[in-house]
Amino acid sequence: MNLYEFLRPVFFLISPEQAHSLAILALKSGLLPSGDVPKSTILNQSIWNLDFPNPVGLAAGFDKNAEVYEPMLKQGFGFVETGTVTPLAQAGNEMPRIFRLTEDKAVINRLGFNNKGLEYYLARLAARGKSNGIVGANIGANKLSDDQIEDYVIGLKRLLGLADYFTINISSPNTPGLRALQGKEALDELLSKLKAVRDQAGLENAPPLILKIAPDLNDQECADIAEIILKHKMDGLIVSNTTLSRPNLVSSFKDEAGGLSGAPLFELSTEILSKMYKLTSGKIPLIGVGGVSNGEQAYRKIKAGASLVQLYSALVYHGPGLVRKINRELENLLKKDGFRNITEAIGIDHN
């Protein structure tokens, strides 16, 4: 039994949000043991001119205010995505707004982009040592914004040069109207403006722009998104955010409003991932998110078309030691199938 498994019953006695705050405090205080990021010739790869030591990243939502990306990198993650950050600080939705679905190994949240705002976040990112690992910035729009697209423009303008990549989060179900930006015309306008901001900045190393989509898309919506991201030559796609569906849940909190993440999301998110890989003809790197809690699941995402994977909810049930375990299992699976490097396995299900 690892330390987290011993302490988990204590964490589960308090609310999920209190437990998360304690975890952030422990990380900021240096109380969690850490080590070097696992390096492997099988797991490392270069994408967007960034050298990923392994493919397992921390999804947005854990480090909302860019406060603990360095200690989380030291837990073994190949990269860490901070945010979601909005231009103005906002409290988010009323509590309680996070629910553990223990029997389902899942979480429902309706946080609503609670964060300390762009100025606080910017200062945290500006203080980082660039050589310490890959850090992404996930940007969003304020709940009461009069112009959601302009919120993304503001976020990108202010943060350019401070993050290794940017995720355009238009798929959270907890900000009214946000998912409408996944529609063809709105998405076309949004990406046009963001690409212009990035390109006009004249940075020597232009950071990749990555779109994060929902798992609750029909075939036509997926096709429209693929068409627009290829038109704008977007750098990548994250599949997927949380779902509004409730697939075969048994926990008492199963009917709470909000986005569902964790184990029940795995099949749905992997199906959409595979679909987007086919629709984009494997031309852009995909990051697979949703329900990953072991090496076999990470491997399935990769074979379905993911170059990288992310996780968050699994940490609630397994603790930070999980990331090193997944990397070990993934390396063994790749070796077993005769692959010399992870890049050889990406999208292999489609061959």
DSSP letters for 271-319: HHHHHHHHHTTT-S-EEEESS--SHHHHHHHHHHTEEEEEESHHHHHH-
Q: Stretch 253-264: mean pLDDT, rounded?
A: 98
Closest CA to 62 of 331, 323, 336, 324: 323
pLDDT at 1 over 60: no
Q: What's the pLDDT tens digit per position in 45-101?
A: 999 999 999 999 999 999 999 999 999 999 999 999 999 999 999 999 999 999 999
Tell me the H-state helices in 38-117: 69-73
Cis, bond preceding 281 (omega within 30 deg of 0): no
Interatomic CA distance for residues 107 and 105, integer angstroms: 7
Banded model confidence at residue 38, pLDDT cuts 50, 70, 90: low
Active site residue 172: yes
Residue 34 pLDDT: 76
Query: Which tokens belong to 32?
Result: 């969690």
Residue 37 pLDDT: 67
Q: What's the pLDDT tens digit per position in 173-211?
A: 999 999 999 999 999 999 999 999 999 999 999 999 999
Banded model confidence at residue 31, pLDDT cuts 50, 70, 90: confident
User: What's the CATH fold of domain 3-350?
Assistant: TIM Barrel (3.20.20)
**Eight-state DSSP code of residue 274:** H
Tell how far CA 248 is from the center of its chain.
24
Q: Which of 15, 21, 46, 172 is catalytic?
A: 172
Three-state DSSP class for 264? helix
The pTM of the whole model exceeds 0.85: yes
Average pLDDT, the chain: 95
